[in-house]
C-alpha cells in the first residue's frame, strides 16, 4: 500500500506501526520520526510562521478561516504522480492540515481519503487501532495502544495521592490560548489542574490576566507548531510570579500521536519531580532566559 500522509500525527502513527516504507508523500510539517523526512512534500502552509510574530500568525489564521480559505496548498499533480492508495488527513482543526473535504475535491475519485479527528486520549488510542486495521496489522495496533496506555497509567499511579499542582498551560502565546482537546486530560493524569482547560473541546483564546487569575504554581508555554527553543524565544518578553517553562508543544502535546504519552511523563516530572523521573524532553526555564 502507498500512503500520502498530510498529518504529522498520522506519519508518526504509521511509522510506529511499522509501515514507514509505505509513506510516499507527506506534509512539510511531517518531521517525526526521522525516516519520514526527505519524502516528497505534497502539501505546505501558505504562510511562513518563522517570518511572523505569534500575533501575526494568529491574525493570518483568523483571516483565512473567516474567508473560508485553506491555510494549506495541496500539490494535486504530485499526489497523482505518486499514485497513493490512501491519503490521511483530518477535519478537526483548520490550522493543522488540509481538510478531508478539500483533499477529496482536489484528487481523483479512486483515491481513498481517511480523516483522523481525535479529541480525547481515548480517541487518540483508537486512531492507532483504526490505522493498524487499515494497514493489515491489527495486532501491532493493540500493542501500540497498550504501550501508550501503560506509560500514562504508570505516571498516574506515581502521582496518586500527591497534592494537585495548579497550572496554566498555554497552547499559544499571543494571544494566549488555554489547553483544549486531550491536553487537560494529560495535565490531570500527571497530577495537575488547569481551571481554564477544555477537555475534549477546542482550545480558545484568553488573556494572560485570566490565565494567571487561577493562581498557577507553574506556567507551561507550549505554542502549537513550535519546539521548546522557539517557544522560549517567543515567550521571552513575558514574566510571571511563578515558575514558567517552555516545552516542545509541537512534538509532545499538540500532535495526537504516540509521543503524547511522553508528554504526560514530562508533565508528571514538572509537577512532581520527586515521584516521576525526568524523561529527558526539552524543558527550558523562562526565568533563566529573562535573567
pLDDT digits (tens, 9 = 90+) for 28-43: 999 999 999 999 999 8
* Residue 96 sits in the same domain as residue 215: no
204 domain-assigned: yes
> Is 85 domain-assigned?
yes
Total number of domains in the chain = 2
Express each pLDDT in 15-29 by its tens digit.
Answer: 999 999 999 999 999
Rounded Cα gap, residues 276 and 265, in angstroms: 7
Instruction: Tell me the pLDDT tens digit for each residue of 159-193.
Output: 999 999 999 999 999 999 999 999 999 999 999 99
Q: Which three cell numbers stand for residue 31?
A: 518531521
d(CA 129, CA 57): 34
pLDDT value of position 64: 67
For residues 108 and 177, state if they share a domain.
no
Is the same domain home to 176 and 285? yes
DSSP string, 200-241: TS---B--HHHHHHT--SEEEE--TT--HHHHHHHTTT---S
Pairwise CA distance, residues 246 & 31, whole Å: 20
Domain harbouring 230, CATH code: 3.40.50.1980
Q: Are strands 198-199 and 180-181 parallel, antiparallel or unpaired?
A: parallel
pLDDT of residue 59: 82
Based on the domain organization, do 107 and 189 belong to the same domain? no
Mean pLDDT of the chain: 90
Digit-coded pLDDT (tens) for 93-152: 555 556 555 666 666 657 888 989 999 999 999 999 999 999 999 999 999 999 999 999
| Inside any domain, residue 51 | yes
* Count of Cβ atoms closer than 10 Å to residue 257 Cβ: 27
Residue 56 dihedral angles phi and psi, to the nearest 5°: -65, -40
Amino acid at each position: 500500500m502507498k500512503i500520502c500522509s498530510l498529518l504529522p500525527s498520522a506519519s508518526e502513527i504509521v511509522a510506529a506501526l511499522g509501515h514507514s516504507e509505505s509513506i510516499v508523500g507527506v506534509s512539510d510539517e511531517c518531521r517525526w520520526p526521522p525516516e519520514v523526512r526527505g519524502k516528497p512534500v505534497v502539501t505546505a502552509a501558505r504562510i511562513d510562521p518563522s517570518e511572523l510574530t505569534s500575533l501575526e500568525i494568529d491574525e493570518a489564521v483568523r483571516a483565512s478561516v473567516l474567508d473560508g480559505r485553506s491555510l494549506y496548498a495541496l500539490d494535486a499533480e504530485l499526489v497523482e504522480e505518486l499514485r497513493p492508495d490512501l491519503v490521511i488527513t483530518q477535519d478537526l482543526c483548520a490550522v493543522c492540515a488540509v481538510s478531508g473535504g478539500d483533499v477529496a475535491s482536489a484528487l481523483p475519485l479512486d483515491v481513498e481519503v481517511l480523516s483522523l479527528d481525535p479529541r480525547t486520549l481515548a480517541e487518540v488510542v483508537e486512531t492507532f487501532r483504526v490505522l493498524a486495521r487499515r494497514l493489515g496489522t491489527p495486532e501491532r495496533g493493540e500493542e501500540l495502544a497498550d504501550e501508550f496506555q501503560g506509560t500514562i497509567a504508570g505516571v498516574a499511579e506515581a502521582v496518586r495521592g500527591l497534592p494537585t499542582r495548579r497550572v496554566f498551560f498555554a497552547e499559544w502565546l499571543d494571544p494566549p490560548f488555554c489547553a483544549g482537546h486531550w491536553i487537560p486530560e494529560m495535565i490531570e493524569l500527571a497530577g495537575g489542574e488547569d481551571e481554564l482547560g477544555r477537555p475534549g473541546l477546542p482550545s480558545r483564546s484568553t488573556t494572560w490576566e485570566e490565565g494567571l487569575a487561577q493562581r498557577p504554581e507553574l506556567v507551561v508555554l507550549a505554542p502549537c507548531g513550535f519546539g521548546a527553543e522557539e517557544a522560549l524565544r517567543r515567550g521571552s518578553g513575558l514574566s510571571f510570579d511563578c515558575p514558567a517553562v517552555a516545552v516542545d508543544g509541537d512534538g509532545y502535546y499538540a500532535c495526537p500521536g504516540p509521543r503524547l504519552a511522553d508528554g504526560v511523563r514530562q508533565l508528571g516530572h514538572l509537577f512532581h519531580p520527586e515521584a516521576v523521573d525526568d524523561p529527558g524532553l526539552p524543558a527550558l526555564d523562562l526565568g533563566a532566559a529573562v535573567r
